[in-house]
Amino acid sequence: MGVTTGGSRGGGLRAANTMAVMPGPRSDGTTPTSAERGRARSVFNRLLERYPESRTALDYENAWQLLVVTVLSAQTTDENVNKAAPALFQRYTSTAELADARPEDVEKIVFSTGFYRQKTKSIIKLAQDLEDLYDGEVPADIDELVKLRGVGRKTASVVLAEVWDVPAIAVDTHVKRVAGRLGLTEETDPERIEEDLKALYPTDTWSALSMRFIQFGRDVCDARRPRCGSCELFKFCEWPERFEAAGKSTL
Ligand code: SF4
């Protein structure tokens, strides 16, 4: 999932939940020092300059559609999902309709997003769970969201931040890599990384963080070929291989 510019499409669904509160300790129980918080803040400020506004590049009109397109976005581009999803939502206009869908019909529509059989199963089960557990409404609570089959903390956090304006940090492979290289966490487990980042940043920045980390991971801090030579975060970076990578990347 990438970012694009502009305001949120959560629109009327938004609630004011973004009071700046300094959060608790890291996953190992330690509390970040003010110097560590300052460095983390500098990283975030640079990313804000690079990406002044961000939101998911996935198209959706409401919370359940965002859940569905987020599931469909696994292992493919947002563009691919945005091409396939309109036909899906035209045919199935509610979670109740999708819950009763015939898998073979859905498979044809989501085929182009790859892993179409698994994704079809996942989104039908997701719709069934939304109907059975929450009468078709998407909850604004991470513990409730992760009860839905196919919805992990990452997807739940995207929905919380995008639709409900609830502070949340979605940790995907890009966030994991970028945060690790920058020395913002030493953890490898996504939930512990989420805790470490939450300990470093005030709550009112959480939702703005992950989309920018994700995009930065795609644009600059690539897994195999990071552009360390032209990276604005070089001076904050703790990745031992950054000097060698800088020599190889375009200045
Ligand atoms: S210096 Fe290299 S490894 Fe460090 S954040 Fe920038 S691109 Fe990533």
Residue 36's domain is classified under what CATH number? 1.10.1670.10
Burial of 234 (0-12, 13-18, 19+ CB in 10 A): middle
Residues 72 and 145 in one domain: yes
Determine the Cα–Cα distance for residues 137 and 34; give it in Å rounded to an integer: 41
The domain spanning residue 85 has which CATH number? 1.10.340.30
Residues 73 and 151 in one domain: yes
Ligand 1 binding pocket mutation candidate from 184, 215, 221 (most atoms within 8 A of CB): 221
User: Is the CB–ligand 1 distance for residue 174 below 6 Å?
Assistant: no
- pLDDT at residue 54 in the model: 78
- pLDDT at residue 179 in the model: 98
Residue 205 lies in a domain: yes
Residue 12 lies in a domain: no
- pLDDT at residue 104 in the model: 98
Which listed residue (78, 119, 165, 172) is catalytic? 172
Residues 181 and 217 in one domain: yes
Determine the Cα–Cα distance for residues 161 and 172; give it in Å rounded to an integer: 15
Phi, psi of 4 (to 5 degrees): -140, 170
Domain's final residue, options 134, 164, 194: 164
Residues 158 and 89 in one domain: yes
Residues 147 and 73 in one domain: yes
Decide if 235 contacts 46 (C-beta within 8 A): no
Range of the domain at 143: 63-164
Residues 79 and 156 in one domain: yes
Residues 173 and 49 in one domain: yes
User: Catalytic: 235?
Assistant: no
- pLDDT at residue 247 in the model: 86
Residue 91 lies in a domain: yes
Residue 82 lies in a domain: yes
pTM: 0.82
User: Is the CB–ligand 1 distance for residue 227 below 6 Å?
Assistant: yes
Burial of 211 (0-12, 13-18, 19+ CB in 10 A): buried
User: Catalytic: 172?
Assistant: yes
Count of structural domains within the chain: 2
Residue-wise pLDDT tens digits, 173-217:
999 999 999 999 999 999 999 999 999 999 999 989 998 999 999
Which listed residue (154, 165, 176, 198) is catalytic? 154
Q: Which residues of the chain have pLDDT under 70?
A: 1-23, 249-251
- pLDDT at residue 241 in the model: 94
> Ligand 1, atom 8: nearest CA belongs to which residue?
221
Decide if 64 contacts 136 (C-beta within 8 A): yes
User: Is the CB–ligand 1 distance for residue 245 below 6 Å?
Assistant: yes
Residue 186 lies in a domain: yes
User: Is the CB–ligand 1 distance for residue 63 below 6 Å?
Assistant: no
Residue-wise pLDDT tens digits, 57-81:
899 999 999 999 999 998 899 999 9
Determine the Cα–Cα distance for residues 139 and 63; give it in Å rounded to an integer: 9
